[in-house]
Amino acid sequence: MKKIIILGSTGSIGTQTIEVVKTHPDKFKVEMLTANSSADLLIEQAKAVNSKYVVIANKSYYEYVRAGLFGTGITVLSGSTAINDLVASIDADLVVTAMVGFAGLIPTLKAIESRKNIALANKETLVVAGDLVTEAARKHSVQIIPVDSEHSAIFQCLQGENPTSVEKIVLTASGGPFRNYSLEQLKHVTPENALKHPNWSMGAKITIDSATMMNKGLEVIEARWLFDLRPDQIDVVIHPQSIIHSLVQFSDGSIKAQMGLPDMRLPIQYAMAYPNRLPNTFERYKFDPIHSLTFEKPDTQKFPCLKIAYEALIKKGNHACIVNAANEIAVAAFLQKKIGFTQIPEIILQTVEKIAKIDHPTLQDYIETDVESRVVATSLIEKT
């Protein structure tokens, strides 16, 4: 029985993690659930899995959640400090980090410092402070097991292999809903169009990141930290069917790939059960009828976000932290129809120019860079 904490249980990854728990009640016991403001769903989940603790980050929902769980024996707390304190103090084997954005960084560090293994969905944590997070994991002998489907694929391909025999990895990308759009067409994309991903159903932020291809850029940085690779060892290929989830090429030229239907419950369950595999009845990929699996080169003219992320990775320091913060602000502004789709990379690039670079940032430097980048990106958006 693994004791688990789910940070961000009410989101796309969080709800699918709960599904996995419900499929294997003899394998997982939920100790703690958190949400930002989805109070009703949090109450329902806490009752369904009999979580010991729940924390609602937005304090204005505290009384509502407490009333909703009155008489259940479930302890209710609120605020982000409570999330950080509890994640560090309660007993658990694994923390599933399914919060979105920079907000996941501190609780993930708290979990690592208290020697809890991580099933990592919150890629922004590694994008912002991959050096500090992986160093903390090494220091506290904590395992970071990827949930992101591409990184899970690579992690699975590496089982039984010597990490030094990796020549390069290839991250696959669906290309998103606008793969075949012209630059002119991209200017007129609306949030409604962008929120319709062809293969995956996900939270709003990552769905827009997939449409701009920033998601793949963030994943390149995530892979650099998870697998300790140089930027030139990480390639991206467009694979519109999303059946091959990523590939590893070894020093002898051999390539291993991991395949399956695009269903996040698979990498979530793999990370939760690792090193075991658990049987399930999720739909299987079938070779009848035969499908074509195709590959294309990504177009960084049309999708500059991928290039912006590669450059941030090469430049190191607080660069990726700036890119991440500006992207979070720009994506939110696009969803609120304050800026157009093609302005997202423009806002990011302009923010990068205005923020001071730090070669060896501390955690405090990352926190300050995040705040400053958000202020700058917001003011740039107001001027558009």
Footprint on this chain of ligand NDP (rule: CB under 6 A): 8-14, 34-38, 57, 80, 98-100, 103, 121-124, 148, 200, 202-203, 205-206, 264
Min CB(180)–ligand NDP separation in Å: 23
Of 64 and 200, the one with the shorter C-beta distance to ligand NDP is: 200
* Number of chain residues interacting with Mg ion (CB under 5 A): 3
How far apart, in whole angstroms, are the C-alpha atoms of residue 266 and residue 268? 5
Min CB(149)–Mg ion separation in Å: 5
The pair of three-digit structure tokens given for residue 136, joined into one six-digit string: 């903390």
Q: Is the link from the previous residue into 25 a cis peptide, with omega within 30 of 0?
A: no
Of 90 and 358, the one with the shorter C-beta distance to ligand NDP is: 90
- Alpha carbon 217 to its chain centroid, in Å, reads 12
148 is a contact residue toward Mg ion (CB under 5 A) = yes
With CB cut-offs between 5 and 8 Å by kind, which of ligand NDP, Mg ion, none does residue 212 bind? Answer: none
209 is a contact residue toward Mg ion (CB under 5 A) = no
Min CB(286)–ligand NDP separation in Å: 22
Helices marked H in 158-287: 183-187, 191-194, 204-212, 214-227, 265-273
Of 199 and 350, the one with the shorter C-beta distance to ligand NDP is: 199
With CB cut-offs between 5 and 8 Å by kind, which of ligand NDP, Mg ion, none does residue 352 bind? Answer: none
With CB cut-offs between 5 and 8 Å by kind, which of Mg ion, ligand NDP, none does residue 343 bind? Answer: none
Which of 116, 72, 69 is CA-nearest to residue 90? Answer: 116
Min CB(221)–Mg ion separation in Å: 12
Residues 100-139 vs Mg ion: string with x where CB under 5 A? ----------------------------------------
Of 80 and 139, the one with the shorter C-beta distance to ligand NDP is: 80
Residue number of the CB atom closest to ligand NDP: 11
How far apart, in whole angstroms, are the C-alpha atoms of residue 330 and residue 360? 26
How many CB atoms neighbour CB 244 within 10 A? 18
User: What is the total residue count of the chain?
Assistant: 384
Of 200 and 250, the one with the shorter C-beta distance to Mg ion is: 200
Paired with 32 in beta bridges are 5, 53
Helix (H) or strand (E) segment spanning residue 53? strand 53-56
How far apart, in whole angstroms, are the C-alpha atoms of residue 130 and residue 222? 7
370 is a contact residue toward Mg ion (CB under 5 A) = no
C-alpha R_g of the chain: 20
How far apart, in whole angstroms, are the C-alpha atoms of residue 167 and residue 255? 10
How far apart, in whole angstroms, are the C-alpha atoms of residue 258 and residue 262? 12
Min CB(218)–ligand NDP separation in Å: 7
Min CB(287)–ligand NDP separation in Å: 25
The pair of three-digit structure tokens given for residue 271, joined into one six-digit string: 């990370």
- Residues lying near Mg ion in the complex (CB under 5 A): 148-150
